[in-house]
Amino acid sequence: MRIGKQDAPYTAISTADAASITVRGRDLCQDLIGKIDFVDYFVLLMLGTPPTEHQRFFLNALLVGIAEHGLVPSVQAARMTLAAAPEALQGAVAAGLLGSGSVVLGSAETAGHLLDELVRAAEGGNAHEIALERVRQMRQTKTPIPGFGHPQHSGGDPRANLLLSLAEERSLNGPYLSMLHTIAQVLPEALGRPLPININGAIPAILLEIGFPVTALKGISILARTAGLLAHLQEEHERPIGFILSHAAAEAIHYDGKKAL
């Protein structure tokens, strides 16, 4: 049985024959290995073209900024998985990535979709009014405003502040960054209080400005977080804490169900 679209049997990423391997129109051995760094190669793979200076600089900055987040749930899941199955590094990495959702790791994607929606809606319109109305709608439905607020850095996310400062220094000031700042401006009126821009607001605004499609936003977070997970898993081999984390969870959570008769 056929399922889904069947009329475009093509890929433009890579091919090989007996004499060569071609990636995005370039010979892997002659043009790429030893001649291009990984960020440049990633952009080439994703977008099909070599990176611009803005793409190279900001992608490096973003990947460094979000690779490591400490013992967040994804890291704990990965470390406990490796503790239980030390032969399955790939399974532990997968365990750490499977929770890439709207609350942890994937929230930059949610913010990116909001920015993309509002930038499109504001073409030829009043960006302030459009953003204000959208935030009011989100408040009515009790939908969190993605990309704003932080439980620890209430005075402002230092990573976001730095990235936005770098964007300003390098004259990156297109519609997505403008809309991000517009949302920040309307929050006091719409919510009754300001919220700082966090890293998950800065990431999609910058990525969209430098030409990444909205569908690629989560992939950047996954790429960065994979590096952090691998570091934690190497440490788990050397200084294991997976079972300590598991024991701490068991000690912290108390049973409140029915007692046995």
Write down all domains in the chain, each with its CATH number in brackets: 70-251 (1.10.230.10)
pLDDT of 165 over the 70 cut: yes
163 band by pLDDT with thresholds 50, 70 and 90: very high
pLDDT category, 228, cuts 50, 70, 90?
A: very high
pLDDT band with cut points at 50, 70 and 90 for residue 208: very high
Output the six-digit token pair for 157.
């996310």
The confidence score (pLDDT) of residue 101 equals 79
pLDDT score for 154: 65
Q: Which two tokens stand for residue 40?
A: 């440049």
Percent of the chain topping pLDDT 70: 98
Q: Which H or E element spans position 226?
A: helix 217-238
Residue 152: per-residue pLDDT: 67
Q: Tell me: the pLDDT tens digits for 62-86?
A: 999 999 989 999 999 999 999 999 9
Chain centroid to CA 92: 19
**Region 130-135 average pLDDT:** 96
Give the pTM: 0.92
Q: Which long-range contacts does 148-157 make (Cβ < 8 Å, 24+ apart)?
A: 148/183, 148/184, 148/187, 148/195, 148/196, 148/197, 148/198, 148/201, 149/195, 149/196, 149/198, 150/196, 150/198, 153/196, 153/198, 154/196, 155/196, 156/196, 156/197, 157/196, 157/197, 157/198, 157/199, 157/202
Tell me which of 221 and 105 has the higher pLDDT.
221
pLDDT of 90 strictly over 70? yes
Q: Mean of the pLDDT values across residues 84-111?
A: 90
